[in-house]
Amino acid sequence: MKMPAAILIGATVLSFVLTSTVCAGPLEDAHEADARHDYATALGIIRPLAERGNAVAQNELGDMYYEGRGVPQAEAEAVKWYQRAALQGIPAAQHMLALSYEYGTGLVRNDAEALKWLRRAAEQGYGASQHRLGEMYEKPWRWGEKIGITQDYVEAHKWFNLSAASGEPGGAMVRAELERQMTPAQIDEAQRRAAAWKPKPGR
């Protein structure tokens, strides 16, 4: 099953922004080639780096396989590279791995694994993961099935608050909508938790 387009687009944009700010040299050349749709050049730079263990390149290669840029679209191959990058603490890869587990794209659906990787990325400050985690706490079921998390409006509000602060589109809007279902005490507690939150190092 494909991931919802809005989730995938937001994650892809954030992934590019994140990796663009931490890459230099060859990966910058790869980004420039990718931007002008010269995927063969981009792939020729990224693949050797990924194979040598460069976590950012591994995430980029995962994106190329997921989207079919310069290679045949292959979700299982994308997931392989996302897993390698996720294990090295790249939040964009952790987010995509979480969604792959959640929606069964390239992996057998596993809500526990989805939550684990989503939380790791969210705890690093990755806005798309913070937003999705907020959605899960607000409505902890999918297609009528529970997803292994207890409904908690306070936690949902906290994560929406943090995603809004990180610039994630829609965070402020859904936070305001959720507040209509919360007591003033719940809102105060959610705001306290958000104010006390600090990002954790990549893991």
- Same domain membership, residue 135 and residue 106: no
Q: What is the pTM of this model?
A: 0.84
pLDDT at site 8: 52
- Residue 127: half-sphere exposure toward Cβ, Cα within 13 Å: 20
The verdict on residue 68 lying in a domain is yes
pLDDT in tens, 152-194: 999 999 999 999 999 998 999 999 999 999 999 999 999 999 9
Question: Does 67 share its domain with 143?
Answer: no
Q: Is pLDDT of 5 > 60?
A: no
pLDDT tens per residue, range 76-122: 999 999 999 999 999 999 999 999 999 888 888 999 999 999 999 99
Q: Beta partners for 141?
A: 146
Q: How far apart are CA 136 and CA 70, in angstroms?
A: 34
For residues 27-50, average pLDDT: 96
Classify residue 202: in a domain, yes or no: no
Q: State how far the Cα of 197 lies from the Cα of 84, in Å rounded to an integer.
A: 27
Q: What is the CATH number of the domain that holds 63?
A: 1.25.40.10
153: containing domain: 127-197
32 lies in the same domain as 46: yes
Same domain flag for 95 and 12: yes
In total, how many domains does the chain have?
2
